[in-house]
Structure 1
Amino acid sequence: MKLVSVLSAGALLLVTACAQTSIQPMSKDTFKVATQAAPACGPNGARNVAFKSASVEVIRRGHDKFVLAGDSHNSDFWSGNHKQDMVVRVVPEGSPEAKNALSAREQLGDNWQEVVAKGAPTTCG
């Protein structure tokens, strides 16, 4: 019975904290999002975490519009981990490029304020 509890707790831990993201400033309007995700997340899960983290960071910087200036993915064959890197450029609201830029608030959904308050996601689901 105790072994089952320990295994269940371990499985829960894997599900609840399967991704880590770091933000690296690159210039005044550009930053890099680097996400590492567990094998269970898969490449799409890693990409979703990175994209949501990018949206959160854009809002935290006081903006809403952004474009992806770069995107790369790598899966480690031996560990099964997935890495997703995105270079994000913040777009000023009144600029000509804002018309074609993504809205961070729209990407996060109606409860975007709650998502931003929680910070970068740590799960792929």
Structure 2
Amino acid sequence: MKFKVIALATTLAIAGCAETSVQPMSKDTFKVQTHAAPACGPTGARNLAFKAAAIEVIRKGGDAFIIEGDHTASGMTGDVFSGFNQNFQQGMVVRMIPSNSPQAKNALSARSTLGANWQEVVAKGVPNTCG
């Protein structure tokens, strides 16, 4: 029984829980903030935030976007009794670019970022795991 509990806890840790929020900043700009578990690492947090940005651009009716700001941090959670774990945060300020704008040729494509099955990815929304 003890082995099953440890195995379950390990499986959950490997999957890496994450939480992402989107905050509007203007009509064409928003901030994506991701907090990720230790199993995600900083790269997992960044990838999840980037995916969330692409999903939000499509949901808002666009495709082209640029990252105007980027912030990475890490912190500790827990206590003396249960132990401490490192977590990772990724923040991005995203600006949507109109397709007829001169900046469109340098912008990223949300659909290309999400891949050939972008419609399915958008329908599912931002995952809460990095795995």
Structure 2 distance, partners of 1:54, 1:121, is 12
Q: 1:75 corresponds to which residue?
A: 74
Q: 2:47 corresponds to which residue?
A: 48
Spell out the pairing of 1:94-113 with structure 2 (5 A cutoff): 94-113=100-119
Opposite residue 51 of structure 2, the aligned amino acid is K
Structure 1 distance, partners of 2:38, 2:15, is 13
1:115 aligns with 2:101: no
Whichever structure has more strand as a proportion of its residues is 2
Contact 1:16 1:122 in 2 (8 A): no
Q: Deviations over 1:47-88 (max 9, x none)?
A: 000000000000011110000010010011563100000000
Cα displacement (A) at 1:46: 0.5
Whichever structure has more helix as a proportion of its residues is 1
Contact 2:29 2:94 in 1 (8 A): yes
Structure 2 distance, partners of 1:109, 1:33, is 20
Q: 1:25 corresponds to which residue?
A: 24
Q: 2:94 corresponds to which residue?
A: 88
Structure 1 outlier segments of 4+, above 2 Å: 2-17
Long gaps (5+) in structure 1: none
Give TM-score, length-normalised by structure 1: 0.91
Contact 2:37 2:87 in 1 (8 A): yes
Mean CA deviation greater in 36-45 or 74-83: 74-83
SS in 1 for 2:68: strand
Cα displacement (A) at 1:121: 2.1
Contact 1:15 1:123 in 2 (8 A): no
Cα displacement (A) at 1:124: 1.6
RMSD value, Cα: 1.4
Q: 1:34 corresponds to which residue?
A: 33
Length, aligned pairs only: 124
Long gaps (5+) in structure 2: 77-83
1:63 aligns with 2:69: no
